[in-house]
Chains A and B, each alone.
Chain A
Amino acid sequence: MSSIHAHTVLIVAAILFVLGLAGALIRRNVIFMLLSIEIMLNAAGLAFVVAGARWQQPDGQIMYLFILAMAAAEVSVALALVLQIHHQHKTLDIEQLKELKD
């Protein structure tokens, strides 16, 4: 465990986060955007865990549990919304959905 440097894990977390962010920016499908957000959340969770390990504190893992719970809740609500959107507009393309404002 200690053989892995905290820096390395943080870099992995940052890469994950950037990947998620890029996905959220680039993908047009709502589902993929949700996936990307999940990746970002997990990146944040990973950072927490590694920080907890670095300072020998349980807070990091507790925070990860919170994130997990929140992500689960978020995904369930979001997927329900996605279902409804698909049901009503027959599309999941965010660019088309944007036109529906007002």
Chain B
Amino acid sequence: MEQYLYLIPALPLIGFLVLSLAGKYLSRNFIAGIGAGSVCVSALITIILGVRFLQSPPGTVYTQLLWHWFLTGHLSADLSLRIDALSLIFICIITFIGALIHIYSIAFMRNDRDYARFFASMNLFVCAMLLLVMADNLVLLYLGWEGVGLCSYLLIGFWYETPANYRAANKAFVITRIGDTAMIIGLFLIFKELGTLYIPDILIQSTQHFNSGSATITLIALLLLSGGIGKSAQLPLQTWLPDAMAGPSPVSALIHAATMVTAGVYLISRMHTIFELSPLAMHVTAVIGAVTLFMAGCSAMVQTDIKRVLAYSTISQIGYMFLAMGVGAWSAAIFHFFTHAFFKALLFLAAGAVIETLHHEHNIFKMGGLRKEMPVIYYTFTIGAAALAALPLVTAGFFSKDQILWYAWSAGGGHPALWALALSGAFITAFYSTRLILVVFWGDMKTTPGHLPSGIMTVPLIILAFFSIAGGWIEWPHNLLHISLFSEQVQQVLPVTQLKPHLPEEIVFQLIAVVVSLFGIYTGYALYYRQSELMTLWRQSANVMTVRNFLLNGWRFDQLYDTLLVRPFLFITRINKSDVTDKLYTGIADIHLQLNKLFSFFQNGSLRWYVAGVLIGILFIITLQLLL
């Protein structure tokens, strides 16, 4: 099996090469076949690989060396792939959900002019993302890391003729680049300290080389964390993700919900030893996660653009993952990534179908009454939203989020304050999920639907909906059922979560979480279905509207950065456009020109000037003679 590992990223790469080089000569069906087919075959290989992996003894690692990339002195990096349980989970999600989204896109992008370019970029993305999670050294990981950034840029700006789209693309690239730069400095520091960039070596050597909590390891961990923050749109680098919704919906589903934005989660859990050696970095991760999930959730409550609601919700859910990692609940974080990938991809795809059917209408308050018109979309969307709201026992989201809530209090790095933030986040999530369902699908119809989505689009939705329900059943809370298929696998790679001593019963926390979620759903129901008077009261109150606008603009982070960074930068570049050092040289040239003018003034051809010059000269010499 190992010798076929390379096929998993290679197939999408071949797809990309064919489509980008020969795209304009191919028919649409052929393009779709290559674009979706390559990822589907990758997914198949991954599934076969996954089955083999589950049968093999625990701790198995598949590796394949493709070629030696470079070797100079101690520095070496190979193009070699390495799969353990953690990578395998990511690969499964990437290829499987990737394949579904590619199939969906066949129909979704059918009428687009640049069909080949779309699939080429998507295939390149899948390839880069796979390299990211299959890399056995940090340089190759960085290759994938930047590669997904590039594809994200290309796909956000896919409809490049609209200024808002390419601005969003630029913003996404630049902001993630800031994180990436911090990360690569982290790589330099790791190499300086340990002399290697091979991931297994780093993990082993760091425990021997560093004392727990030493300044260097904390610095390394924080730098890596910054990389993760940029990619995963966490505070304070989260502002690019809502704008990134300018891309086509399948792009949002694949890149900005299921896979790329969770690259930060992958990086941190991959380098978990470094983080565990630095309690400070763990705390920072947890706090960033908790604050992000709360702030982004608040913004999601008031958004009117359906995709922006989902975008803020993605930021918020990744905040949960960071929180889980920060408190040391590694397996819970990865499990939430797993379930979140399904239901968030589902939500984006369904939202894409709604938008497409309503003639590119994004505003949820211009939707409504679609329950009867689009039943398949309605039911699948509802399943996704229920999973997002963590409806107890029947949805996958419940199982993963419940774990995180429990560990936010009880795990080694847990704290009641973190738990409180996570719990309020759960309430907010339930609230805006309900709001979304009620506003979009219930009530009166405000826009007449056009063409209903075809079968090619609905089948992926149904498959994803199935996993949004069933995906959670492989891992149950310990006090309910003893099924822990997922954590068994993950804990081959990641440490087992350590609990604090003297804890209250887990069931108490579960009940509180359930009650809070249900209360969130009820609040949404009361405000948006019953049209309670509170809403009208709020609409008239200036203070409430100020708060609403503040949240709508994402806590005004954009304005803050605009004033602090963007404007000064533009000012500096603008005033120095003509290069101030040039003044020095033009200055030298000017002095010579002036001298030239001066002397040519004397050399004017007037005989009388010359006579006067001679006279003055003589007088000067005579005076000198007399004086000296």
> Are A and B close enough to touch in the complex, i.e. CB under 8 Å?
yes
Nearest CB to that of A27 among chain B residues? B608
- Report A1-45 CB contacts with B as 1/0, cut-off 8 Å: 000000000000000000001001110000001000000000000
Nearest chain A CB to B487 CB, angstrom units: 96
Interface size grouping (class) on chain B:
under 10
User: Which A residues from 53 to 99 make CB contacts under 8 A with B?
Assistant: 94-95, 98-99
- Report B575-610 CB contacts with A as 1/0, cut-off 8 Å: 000000000000000000000000000001111100
Q: Does B564 contact A (CB under 8 A)?
A: no
Residues on B with C-beta less than 8 A from A33 are 607
How many interface contacts (CB-CB < 8 Å) are there between A and B? 20
B606 touches A95 (CB 8 A): yes
Nearest CB to that of B608 among chain A residues? A25
Residues on A with C-beta less than 8 A from B611 are 21, 24-25
Q: Does B508 contact A (CB under 8 A)?
A: no
A94 touches B608 (CB 8 A): yes
Q: Does B627 contact A (CB under 8 A)?
A: no
Interface size grouping (class) on chain A:
10 to 19
Q: Does B612 contact A (CB under 8 A)?
A: yes
Nearest chain B CB to A36 CB, angstrom units: 9
- The CA-CA distance from A95 to B605 in the complex, in Å, is 9
> Is the contact region of chain A dominated by helix, strand, or loop, or is it mixed?
helix
Q: Does B615 contact A (CB under 8 A)?
A: yes
Nearest CB to that of B606 among chain A residues? A98
B604 touches A98 (CB 8 A): yes
Nearest chain B CB to A96 CB, angstrom units: 11
Contact of A98 among B605, B612, B615 (CB under 8 A): B605
Nearest CB to that of A18 among chain B residues? B615
- Report B603-626 CB contacts with A as 1/0, cut-off 8 Å: 011111001100100000000000
- The CA-CA distance from A74 to B225 in the complex, in Å, is 96
B615 touches A94 (CB 8 A): no
Nearest chain B CB to A10 CB, angstrom units: 15
A25 touches B612 (CB 8 A): yes
- The CA-CA distance from A21 to B608 in the complex, in Å, is 10
Residues on A with C-beta less than 8 A from B605 are 98-99, 101
Nearest CB to that of B615 among chain A residues? A21
- The CA-CA distance from A101 to B604 in the complex, in Å, is 9
Nearest chain A CB to B286 CB, angstrom units: 85
- The CA-CA distance from A38 to B604 in the complex, in Å, is 25
Residues on B with C-beta less than 8 A from A98 are 604-607
Nearest chain A CB to B431 CB, angstrom units: 89
- The CA-CA distance from A94 to B609 in the complex, in Å, is 11
- The CA-CA distance from A84 to B617 in the complex, in Å, is 31
Residues on B with C-beta less than 8 A from A26 are 608
Contact of B608 among A24, A99, A101 (CB under 8 A): A24
What are 13 pairs between A and B in contact, CB < 8 Å? Answer: A21-B611, A24-B608, A24-B611, A25-B608, A25-B611, A25-B615, A26-B608, A94-B607, A95-B606, A98-B604, A98-B605, A98-B606, A99-B605
Which B positions have Cβ atoms within 8 angstroms of A? 604-608, 611-612, 615
Give 14 A-B pairs besides A94-B606, A98-B606 with Cβ atoms closer than 8 angstroms.
Answer: A21-B615, A25-B608, A25-B612, A25-B615, A26-B608, A33-B607, A94-B607, A94-B608, A95-B606, A98-B604, A98-B605, A98-B607, A99-B605, A101-B605
- What are the nearest 4 A-B pairs in CB distance? A101-B605, A98-B605, A98-B606, A25-B608
